[in-house]
Amino acid sequence: REHLPESGPVLVCANHQSYLDPIIVGLACDRRLNYLARQNLFNNRVFGWLIRWYDAIPIERDGMGLSGMKETLRRLKRGEMVLIFPEGTRCSDGKLGPLKPGFCALARRSGAPLLPIAFEGAFEIWPRNRHWPRPAPLAIQFGAPLWPDEIAALDDEALLSELQTRLVNCQQQAHDLNRPRRVSAE
């Protein structure tokens, strides 16, 4: 958590392994976190009430849409933190997928640092093909932020590549933390 800015806007960029991911990231952060959620999830009987309770920002299935972009920027301009999943959807195998370029415009317009966060174990807890979660170990790793001046110096392709690299490194570190360890009896 040493990489988490104590105040000011932050665009939290995390890998997306399960439905639990927003809750996991929210619990790991010491600050209030805003969430993005697909518009159709607001009507879901299981998650709709929770999403509304968390005051999530509705976005369109194939991207943020104008209203989602405006509300996200508004919250960032107020100095809040917003969580996005740059993969755009939950993974199917627990590994980080390719990042969608749509977040680049948001990153540039917001003036906020990008904070990479990755976890390992959420996929085992609640993979895409299961109806209910199950117990499994979980680890989360915060990476070094990409600051606005760094973001401005990169074109979209380089920004995607840099964030992808940082997320992969965070996920590997989380994997290493999550590995079973042998305990010596000595």
Complete domains list, the chain, with CATH: 10-178 (3.40.1130.10)
pTM of the model: 0.88
Please provide the DSSP assignment of 8-68 as one string.
S-EEEEE---STTHHHHHHHH-SS-EEEEEEGGGGG-TTTHHHHHHTTPEEEBTTB-HHHH
Question: pLDDT truncated to tens, each residue of the chain (186 aa)?
Answer: 788 878 899 999 998 878 788 888 888 998 999 998 888 889 988 788 888 888 899 988 777 788 999 999 999 999 999 999 988 777 678 788 889 888 899 999 999 999 999 988 887 878 778 888 888 888 899 999 999 999 999 999 999 999 999 999 999 998 888 776 554 455
What is the dihedral angle through the alpha carbons of 15, 17, 19, 24, rounded to the nearest 10 degrees? Answer: -60
First CA to last CA distance, the chain: 33
CB neighbours of residue 89 within 10 Å: 12
